[in-house]
Structure formats: structure tokens, C-alpha cells
Amino acid sequence: MATTLSPLAPASFPTLPPIAGVRIATANSGIRYKGRDDLLLAVLDPGTAVAGVLTRSLTCSAPVIWCRDSLPKGSARAVVVNAGNANAFTGKAGDATVQATVSAAAELAGCAPDEVYIASTGVIGIPLAADAIGKCLAPMAPNLKADSAAWEKAARAIMTTDTFPKGSVRTASIGGTTVTIAGFAKGSGMIAPDMATMLGFVFTDAAIAATALQDMLSEFTERTFNAVTVDGDTSTSDTLLLFATGKAGNAPVSSADAAELAEFRAALEDLLLDLALQVVRDGEGATKFIAITVRGADSDAAAKRIGMTVANSPLVKTAIAGEDANWGRIVAAIGRAGERADRDLIKITVGGTLICAEGMEVPGYDETPVTAHMKGKEVDIDIDLGLGKGTAKVWTCDLTHGYIDINGSYRS
């Protein structure tokens, strides 16, 4: 795990209140890390609904396959997450580890196996003993707690190369009843969206049906976790799960479009975006947080594709790392994105300064304010294609030698 705190890190981990119906414990499994907790167990009250989005990687982990098969039931009673070993590309041994973990968690929670959700993150391709995780769960049961301190412990337990734990909390009203949403995530490298990004776990005490949760999560993921990138590498383990215990006392809601969910929808999307942006701010070796707005595209999808092409460009990211206002790299990325663009209509603005328009650098362009903007920790790029009404916003970070240092020695 990285030890130097990201310069883009928030001042502190937020205070997350207990969520009725959720109890959490952490422990050290001994799988990889010494002297720190690397295993999370959450036990949920009966009646908890669940929704999830999972990586679309064709080499996904055994835990992802398990979650994908369990989600249609829409019910959850336990969550088990380990850090240090992804249990991905581990063949039948990986499946055996999942089965043993699920069996142990189901026995502890007193539930059906398909009400247990699991996730793993870490090194790919190293099989675990079947009971490596399962044997640790029963001793954790006496430590299950529903207090504020448990959230930060949980967020820290699932970290790999992260330099800080990531948490967020929001409240909303449903039909006059106040409900709380709290969540945490991990992610630093191997970050490129293809459903969600890395691992995220969100809990609410609201009473909302699993189908409604799924509709909201799938929609909001596209504008949050699916709109960030660190290095263009999609993980085998990406998992984002949303749980609703129903303990707040609101009248149950069965439709994501219900009028009484308007405030909850806004709060949930805001929380997901907060967590996703914290992942970017903890990008491996990152020193700059980059926001890219694309407007005037043929469609929103086209705008997003162009934005992500710019965001994933090593040339753009290294130029920003070096505080070099080389806007030609942005132009090049736009041109190879595979979406319609017209040289003479494109306008590029960095830090509020218009750089190019009408097919060339604007007359009298002064690079000084752009260079000054790039010396800060926050960099804003605005691209107007001048073609249509499509818009998108995506986020990334710069690419520094620190990324190479971390990933060149990840297994050692």
C-alpha cells in the first residue's frame, strides 16, 4: 500500500453515522498485508434490498461472477470484502474460495448463500486456500458494530495502493421521513470505467425496492463512476453495491421515478460522484485533478467518448503533470476519438482562457495565464465542438513518474 498521502486528498475522513440494520467488523486475514486490517464483514438485517453494477471485463474475478448470479434475487444479508488478492484468473481454486467464503458468511448471518455478496481486490492470478477468508469470519462476529468508527475502519480495510480512505454521507427526505445514505470506496490505480470503478459499498436506511435501487444505480453510475479514469485500465474486480435496509420507516417505494424519491435521487447521485472523484484524487502518483467538459457534440454519448479519449491520453496527462500548456495534444485526442469533429468549429478553453477557435490558435493568444492555471492542483479543460447539443463531463488526473514507481513494484 502506498504510504505518501496524495496531495489531492481531502482534509479528513467524514463522520458517517450508523445506518440502522448495518453492522460492520474488520480484521487481518494474513493473506498479504501485515499489521493492518484487510478483511471486511458487514451483516445486514433481514429485508435488506440490494442493487449492483459490476465490471464487464471478460476476465472478471470469481467474486464478480458470484455477485452477478446473486443480484437477480435482490436480497442481501452479508457482505465480505478482502484486499491484497483479487481472486481473479484463479480457475476452479478461485471458485472454491468463493464457495467456502459464502458458506461461512451465510452460516454466520443465518441466511441463504445467494444473500451473501463478496468482493476481492489486489494481485491477479494467485490462488487462495479455499478457507483463507471463510475461516476468519466467525471470530469477527463478536466485533460487529453499528457505530461511526466502524465506517472508517471498513474503508481502510479494503485499501490496496490507496493513500487515504474514501467515505461520503448524505441525507434526504422521502415522504416526510429523513433517510441517510452512507458509503465508502477504494481505488487508486487500474481505474477506467466499464460499469463502476473499483470497489464501492453504499448503504441506506430507506425502504426502497431492489428494482428501483437498480434503476437508480445503473443510471447514476454512468455520470459518476463511469465518468472517471486514472490510467485507462479496467479492473477485473470492479464492484459497486447499494443496500437499503428499510429501517428508516418511510413508506416503501417501488419505482425509481416516484415523485417522493426526487430528493433521494439527487442525494444518491451526489454521494456516488463524491466517492468517484475521491478515487481520481487518489490516482496513483497524481498531483493534478483534471475536469474535462465537452459540449456541442452530436450526442451526449459522443461528448463522453471524446472527453474520455482526452482524459485517457498519456500525452495530455503528462503535459499537465509537467505544467506544459501543450494544447495540441488535446486537439489530437479529439481527432482520434472516433466521433464527428470539425476543425473550424472546435474551441478549446483551459482555466477560462480561450486557446483555439476557427481552426487555429486565437490571435494574440497569451500562454501565461494557462501555464499559471496548470501550476495549480485543479485543472479545467472545456471543449466546444460546435456541432450539436451533446454534453458530458469527465474527470481524470495527471500521469507522473510516481505511477511507474507504484506499479513497477506492486507485487514486491
> How many CA atoms are closer than 13 Å to the CA of 337, on its beta-carbon side?
28
Q: Facing residues of 395 across strands? A: 228, 291
User: 378-384 and 289-297 as β-strands: parallel, antiparallel, unpaired?
Assistant: parallel
Tell me whether residue 293 is annotated as binding: no
Tell me whether residue 70 is annotated as binding: no
Q: What is the CA radius of gyration of the chain?
A: 22
Positions marked active-site:
197
Could you please report the per-residue DSSP string of 212-276?
HHHHHHHHHHHHTGGGB-SSS---S--EEEEEE--TT-PPPB--TT-GGGHHHHHHHHHHHHHHH
Q: How many Å separate Cα 301 from the centre of its chain?
A: 20
CB neighbours of 338 closer than 8 A, spacing ≥ 6? 305, 309
CB neighbours of 391 closer than 8 A, spacing ≥ 6? 293, 294, 295, 296, 297, 300, 303
Check if the beta carbon of residue 307 is closer than 8 Å to that of residue 341: no
Task: Kindly tell me the burial class for residue 363, based on how many C-beta atoms sit within 10 Å of its own C-beta (0-12, 13-18, 19 or more).
Answer: exposed
d(CA 26, CA 37): 6
The continuous run of DSSP H or E covering 68 comes out as helix 62-70
Instruction: Identify which of 215, 204, 148 has the alpha carbon closest to the alpha carbon of residue 13.
Output: 148
d(CA 201, CA 330): 34
Tell me whether residue 284 is annotated as binding: yes
Tell me whether residue 407 is annotated as binding: yes
Name the phi and psi angles at 263, rounded to 5: -70, -40
Q: Grid coordinates representing 249? A: 420507516
Q: Which residues line the annotated binding site for substrate? A: 160, 186, 197, 284, 407, 412
